């Protein structure tokens, strides 16, 4: 069972915008530590919005890694994500909004000790109109 809707994040509504340029439209990743291992995992169109996911730290099985989820095209009230190889798998992590970067959310994600080849980030966002949009089967592969 997914617990997303049981723990609504208390987040002030912000206007969606890119994360890197202080309000610009491009989605330039913030460099959390100068790591060369940053990687844009992709963007998925969902109704009324788009979901982008970036990996900001290296992926080490059994450790944790910082990811950033960006929602554009719609106001968003909560974001969560998990790592797994199929629908419904993986521990759900509630995202923290990035200060001064509307639509940007950071998540410190636990990486499974045995990372399967088809492991991917499954992102979910609750939009301001109450709808829930989720990435899917072919999105945001880790490898």
Partner 1 sequence: MPVRIPRLLLAPVLIACAAVSASAATAYPADRYVDMIGVNTHWTYPGVYNGDTIRTKLGESGIRHIRDGSGDLNTIKYLYNTYGIRTTVIVGRFPNGINKPADASLIDDQLNEIKNAGAIPAIYAFEGPNETDNNQGIKGDSPEADKSAFRTWLRNFTKTLHDVARADGAFDGVKLVGPSLVDSGMYPYVGDLSAWISHPCAHPYLGSRHPETPGWGDNGYGSIGWVVNYLNKPQHPTGAAFQTECGYHSVWTRTYGHLGVPEWTDSRYLPRMYAVYLQNNVAHAFKYELADQGTDPNDIEENFGFLRRDYSEKPAFVAIKNLIALLKDPGASFTPDSLAPSFSGDTTNLQHLLLQKRDGRFFLLLWQGTHCWNVDTRTAITVPTRSITVGLPSTITAAKSHRLADNGTMSTATLAITSGSVAGLQITDRMMVLELSGTGTNAAPVCSLTANPNSATSGTAITLTATASDSDGSVTKVEFFAGTTKLGEDTSSAGGWSFVWSGAAIGTHTIVAKATDDDGAVTTSAAVTVTVTAIQAPIGTGTGLLGTYFNNADFTGTTVTRTDGTVNFDWASGAPASGIASDTFSVRWQGKVQAQFTEVYTFKTLSDDGVRLWVNGQKLVDNWTAHAVTENSATIALTAGQKYDISMEYFEDAGGAVAKLSWSSPSTANQIIPISQLYPATAGALPSPWVAQDIGAVAAAGSTSYANGQWTVKGSGADIWNTADEFQCVHQPVTGDCDLITKVVSQTNTHAWAKAGVMLRDGLGAGAKHAMMVVTGGNGSAFQRRGATGGASSHTAGGQVTAPYWVKLTRRGTTLSGYESADGVTWKLVGTATISLSATAEACLVVTSHVDGTLSTAVFEQLTVVPVGNG
Binding site for partner 1 (CB under 8 A): 44-48, 86-88, 129-139
The CA-atom distances, in angstroms, between 84 and each of 40, 41, 73, 112 are 18, 15, 26, 8
The rounded distance, in Å, linking the Cα atoms of 46 and 134 is: 8
Tell me how far, at minimum, the Cβ of 77 lies from partner 1, in Å: 12
Least distance CB 73 / partner 1 (angstroms): 13
* Structural element, H or E, at residue 43: strand 39-46
Tokens coding 88: 């419904």
In whole angstroms, give the CA distance from residue 118 to residue 131. Answer: 28
Closest separation between CB of residue 27 and partner 1, Å?
A: 19
């Amino acid at each position: 069972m997914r617990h997303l809707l049981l723990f609504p994040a208390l987040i002030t509504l912000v206007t969606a915008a890119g994360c890197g340029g202080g309000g610009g439209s491009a989605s330039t990743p913030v460099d959390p530590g100068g790591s060369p291992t940053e990687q844009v995992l992709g963007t998925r169109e969902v109704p009324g919005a788009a979901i982008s996911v970036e990996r900001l730290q290296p992926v080490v099985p059994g450790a944790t890694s910082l990811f950033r989820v960006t929602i554009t095209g719609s106001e968003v009230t909560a974001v969560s994500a998990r790592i797994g190889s199929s629908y419904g798998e993986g521990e759900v992590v509630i995202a923290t909004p990035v200060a001064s970067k509307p639509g940007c959310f950071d998540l410190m994600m636990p990486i499974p000790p045995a990372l399967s080849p088809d492991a991917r980030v499954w992102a979910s966002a609750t939009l301001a109109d109450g709808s829930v949009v989720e990435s899917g089967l072919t999105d945001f592969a880790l490898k």
